């Protein structure tokens, strides 16, 4: 009987220690780092060219954004056993803009780095001591496109050449993009290895659009070309986390 009681006490202590070992509880921090894969679900409106006091829409012109990979970090603070705030930032990946439709002949027309720190409120399911915990989240991301590089066909203004005007509108060209605050939703799961370490996998979707403006300094004055691009990236994040 005495041996049985000792075994029962030992088992209880073991179960308690296991619960503490894998807990994600109120007041805890978790720092994560890993690999981001950015898969834009992109589309672009036709290019509108304003020159010599007239605006013309280039019908059939469009663009798409290529995939990108980078690494980043997250910081998560558990407000309660289930609710948490997570901030995420990544090394800005370079997104490639590729011409479509009447611009397809140009191939890659340019690229830019995307800076997009985000803040999400998460809800983690199951008990805080569960080893496997799925979660959902929603929040906002501030998005800025910077360090723009244009292909020669764009930077020289050659994309404005047409049978009627020839090279009249060509000239040195620069590009700018509007910044935006975009909504983000996510879902994922954490696997708690031990008291401190965990593995995580999440997928998020950002509803993101930007307006691109190309300014060409031609011999007949400035030529302004604009288009609205929807990027709408799906971002996968595979990470290793440390809790304290």
Q: Is 93 helix (H, G, I), strand (E, B) or coil?
A: coil
pLDDT band at 23 (very low <50, low <70, confident <90, very high): low
For residues 87-95, give the mean pLDDT: 96
Distance CA 148, CA 112 (A): 4
For tokens 């985000």, what's the residue?
A: 118
Task: Please report the DSSP string for 159-210 in residue order.
Answer: GG-BTTTBTTT---EEEEE--EEEEEEEEEEEEE-SSSEEEEEEEEEE--EE
User: In the chain, count of helices (H) and strands (E)?
Assistant: 2, 17
Average pLDDT over the chain, rounded to an integer: 89
Which tens digits make up the pLDDT trace of 28-56?
999 999 999 999 999 888 999 999 888 98
pLDDT band at 163 (very low <50, low <70, confident <90, very high): confident
Residue 22 has pLDDT above 90, yes or no: no
Is this prediction's pTM over 0.95? no
DSSP state of 154: H
Which tens digits make up the pLDDT trace of 224-244?
999 998 999 999 999 999 999
Lowest-confidence pick of 20-29, 103-112, 132-141 = 20-29
For residues 79-104, give the mean pLDDT: 94
pLDDT band at 62 (very low <50, low <70, confident <90, very high): confident
- 165 or 138, which is more confident? 138
CATH 2.40.160.20, domain 2-243, yes or no: yes
Residues above pLDDT 70, as percent of the chain = 91
Which tens digits make up the pLDDT trace of 65-80?
999 999 999 999 999 9
At 111, list the tokens: 């690229």
Which tens digits make up the pLDDT trace of 124-154?
999 988 999 999 999 999 999 999 999 999 9
Give me the pLDDT at residue 17, please. 41
Residue 176 has pLDDT above 80, yes or no: yes
Residue 14 has pLDDT above 70, yes or no: no
Distance CA 98, CA 67 (A): 11
For residues 187-198, give the mean pLDDT: 94
Give me the pLDDT at residue 7, please. 44
Count of beta carbons in the 10 Å neighbourhood of residue 7: 10
Lowest-confidence pick of 6-20, 96-110, 116-130, 222-236 = 6-20
Give phi and psi for 17, each to the nearest 5: -65, -35
Give me the pLDDT at residue 189, please. 97
Alpha-helix runs per DSSP H in the chain: 2-21, 152-155
Question: Taking Cα atoms as reference points, which of 67, 44, 111, 30 lies closest to residue 236?
Answer: 67
């Amino acid at each position: 009987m005495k041996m049985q009681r000792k075994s029962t006490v030992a088992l209880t202590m073991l179960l308690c220690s296991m619960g503490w070992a894998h807990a994600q509880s109120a007041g805890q921090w978790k720092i994560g780092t890993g690999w981001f894969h950015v898969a834009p679900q992109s589309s672009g409106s036709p290019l509108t060219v304003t020159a010599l006091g007239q605006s013309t829409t280039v019908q059939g012109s469009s663009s798409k954004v290529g995939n990108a990979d980078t690494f980043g970090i997250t910081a998560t603070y558990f407000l309660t056993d289930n609710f948490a705030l997570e901030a995420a930032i990544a090394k800005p990946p370079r997104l490639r803009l590729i011409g479509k439709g009447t611009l397809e002949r140009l191939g890659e027309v340019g690229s830019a780095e995307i800076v997009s720190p985000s803040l999400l409120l998460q809800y983690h399911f199951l008990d805080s001591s569960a080893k496997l915990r799925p979660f959902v989240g929603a929040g906002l991301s501030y998005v800025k496109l910077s360090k723009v590089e244009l292909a020669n066909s764009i930077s020289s203004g050659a994309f404005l050449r047409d049978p009627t005007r020839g090279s009249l509108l060509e000239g040195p060209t620069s590009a700018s993009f509007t910044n935006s605050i975009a909504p983000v939703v996510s879902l994922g799961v954490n696997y708690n290895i031990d008291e401190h370490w965990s593995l995580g996998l999440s997928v998020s979707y950002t509803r993101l659009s930007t307006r691109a403006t190309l300014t060409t300094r031609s011999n007949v004055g400035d030529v302004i070309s604009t288009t609205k691009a929807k990027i709408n990236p799906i971002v996968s994040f595979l990470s290793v986390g440390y809790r304290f």
